[in-house]
Amino acid sequence: MRTNQNKICYSESNQDIFRIALLCSMGNYKGVIPMADIRKSLWLLAFLITAGLFTPANAQQPTLVVTDQVVQMEFHDQITLVGRTQAWVESRLVSEVSGRVKAIDAGEGIWIKRGTPLVTIDADQTRFILNAKQAETEQAKLEAELTKNDLKRMQDLYSKDLISQSAYDSAATWASIKEQRYNQLESERKKLELDLKNSVIRAMYDGYTGRKLVDVGEWVNPGMPVFEMVDLSRVKVTVDLPERHFGRVSTGSHATIVASGNGGEQLSGTVTGIAPRASEETHTFPVIIEVSNEDMNLGGGMLVRATLSMDQTFSSLAVSKDAIIRQGDQTLVYTVADGKAVPIPVVTKSSDGKMIAVEGEGLSEGMPVVVRGNERIFPGSPVTTGQAQQSTANMGQVSQKD
């Protein structure tokens, strides 16, 4: 309580004793009041505090967190290598016909669907030839039908011995010639139709366009590349496995991919191939990892870190990957003791994508560790525990325990 020249805080009115007591205790009220009123106010304030009806506005409220238990699990030994990404499919689309480039129908570096036009070849000449060939084919078809009908009449006459064998053979040969002529012209007509269709070069699959390799007005021949295209829905990562680890990684093994360019997000991959022969220069074995990339987190030619799971296993304490946080230079997990957050520094050793093998002083199987809400707490923070909803519809929600 603050005093001024031996005078006690005073109010001209006793109408709000509680407010005056608060102001006087905080030193914010000027004036004096009789000691009896001050005692009455302080007794009221003490009663409210004791009864829990008065709490400072800045008191720290417990943080609601979700915990999971530390478990014992089997893990694979792991090795981390640097590799480079490559699109699973990289194509240089070629022209199947000769002609002058009439139009470029797509831009570079854009995502397109299968069947989207990329380049159009001038097909006017092909169209004229096709029209003439269709007329010629139709004529050959009529001639073939006519000779076929003649052959039927000849067969009837020959069966009655009204014509000679030579006359019948001549009619059969002529009908066969006309039929083959029609078949030849029909094939040529279909080839021209295909050339007309192929005069528009289209995307062979969903993906990104690369460089255009021709421009309007240029002449192209069959087999000449006109556009580059890549499919990044799957990515191939190639890493070099040191020869001392050869035989310790198998196809089908799990791999974790991290690229510095995507914010450190981890992507799952699978080892699909291991070269049986080492490079003579580096004495390493190329390993191919397939990574699903539907969200386009990886591009072609990126440097990545690939963590491969080897065949050997070991037993270790494990926590959910969501329990691991980094504060400053430390990697740690939070447990809960007496309603307070308690940090435990840990060292991570291996991972299966969801659980992480850890070791740390004081860590034991069955111990609760915070898996949600740990980004909002610090050592000694008051916490209250909750449980995560298990249904998919409520994923991400937290309910407080009774």
Q: Give the whole-angstrom CA distance, residue 191 versus residue 193.
A: 5
pLDDT value, residue 354: 85
pLDDT value, residue 179: 95
Q: Give the whole-angstrom CA distance, residue 288 versus residue 84.
A: 10
pLDDT value, residue 34: 58
pLDDT value, residue 322: 92
Nearest Cα neighbor of 229 from 100, 115, 96, 101 is 115
Q: What are phi and psi of 5, to 5 degrees?
A: 55, 50
Alpha helices in 79-123 (DSSP H): none
CATH fold of 67-85+231-400 reads: Elongation Factor Tu (Ef-tu); domain 3 (2.40.30)
Please report which helix (H) or strand (E) contains residue 37, including its range: helix 35-50
Q: Give the whole-angstrom CA distance, residue 109 versus residue 209.
A: 5
Coarse DSSP helix, strand, coil percentages of the chain, rounded to the nearest 5 percent? 30, 40, 35
Token output for 108: 């570079």
pLDDT value, residue 42: 56
**CB of 368 within 8 A of CB of 401?**
no
195-198 contacts at long range (C-beta below 8 A, 24 or more positions apart): 195/96, 195/97, 195/123, 195/126, 196/123, 196/126, 196/127, 196/130, 198/95, 198/96, 198/97
Token output for 256: 């974790």
Nearest Cα neighbor of 272 from 293, 257, 248, 251 is 251
For tokens 């298990």, name the residue: 390
pLDDT value, residue 326: 86
Q: Give the whole-angstrom CA distance, residue 166 versus residue 158.
A: 10
- The angle, 0 to 180 degrees and rounded to 10, between the axes of the packed helices 165-198 and 124-159 is 160
Q: Return the amino acid letter for 241.
A: L
CATH fold of 96-122+200-223 reads: OB fold (Dihydrolipoamide Acetyltransferase, E2P) (2.40.50)
Nearest Cα neighbor of 381 from 337, 340, 334 is 340
Q: Give the whole-angstrom CA distance, residue 281 versus residue 267.
A: 30
pLDDT value, residue 141: 95
Token output for 214: 């021709």
Q: Give the whole-angstrom CA distance, residue 23 versus residue 222.
A: 94
pLDDT value, residue 8: 38
**CB of 241 within 8 A of CB of 310?**
no
pLDDT value, residue 41: 55
Token output for 191: 């080839």
Q: Give the whole-angstrom CA distance, residue 38 versus residue 21.
A: 7
Bridge partner list, 111: 208
Per-residue pLDDT of the chain in tens (402 residues, 90 and over written 9): 333 433 334 344 444 444 544 444 444 444 555 555 556 555 555 555 554 444 554 556 888 999 999 999 988 888 999 999 999 999 999 999 999 999 999 999 999 999 999 999 999 999 999 999 999 999 999 999 999 999 999 999 989 888 899 999 999 999 999 999 999 999 999 999 999 999 999 999 999 999 999 999 999 999 999 999 999 999 999 999 999 999 899 999 989 999 876 666 889 999 999 999 999 899 999 999 999 998 888 999 999 999 998 888 889 999 999 999 988 888 999 999 999 999 999 998 888 778 999 999 989 999 999 999 988 888 999 999 865 443 333 333 343 443
Nearest Cα neighbor of 271 from 75, 73, 78 is 78
